[in-house]
Amino acid sequence: MPMKALPIEVLPEAIEEAREARSWYAERSPAAARRFVAELDRAIEQNSQTPLRWPTHLHGTRRYRLYLFSFLIVYRVREDRIEVIAYQHGRRRPGYWKDR
């Protein structure tokens, strides 16, 4: 039986990371910024539907790698929700978000 879709809670620090990334892309190409947001939206929807599908990561988290952009969505699966910890750029030090 498929798992019920879980609500998503995005930590404020992760929201800020997504905003900064979107702004960076928008300065270079509005179309790239739109694609970035669309890919984030698609990834969040997939995580909501099948959160255990993606590999385990550091500090009790899981990660979803974006296809078109060098970002990971780092999240925890809780009983009643999915908690997005970070939108980590691929070049950032892994685990920088561990205290969130």
The model's pTM: 0.83
The position carrying tokens 């798992």 is: 3
Asked if residues 77 and 7 have their Cβ atoms less than 8 Å apart, the reply is no
Domains of the chain, each with CATH number or no CATH: 8-89 (3.30.2310.20)
Mean pLDDT of 66-91: 91
Look at residue 21 and tell me whether its pLDDT is greater than 60: yes
Quick: pLDDT tens for 31-69. Answer: 999 999 999 999 988 888 888 888 888 888 999 999 899
pLDDT: is 91 or 19 the higher one? 19
Percent of the chain with pLDDT over 70: 97
Cα 98 to Cα 12, 36, 44, 74, 85, distances in angstroms: 14, 24, 20, 10, 8
Q: What backbone torsions phi and psi does residue 69 show, to the nearest 5 degrees?
A: -130, 155
At residue 2 the predicted structure's pLDDT band, cuts being 50, 70 and 90, is low
Mean pLDDT of 8-25: 95
Q: Is the dihedral of CA 94, 89, 64, 83 positive or negative?
A: positive
Look at residue 3 and tell me whether its pLDDT is greater than 70: no
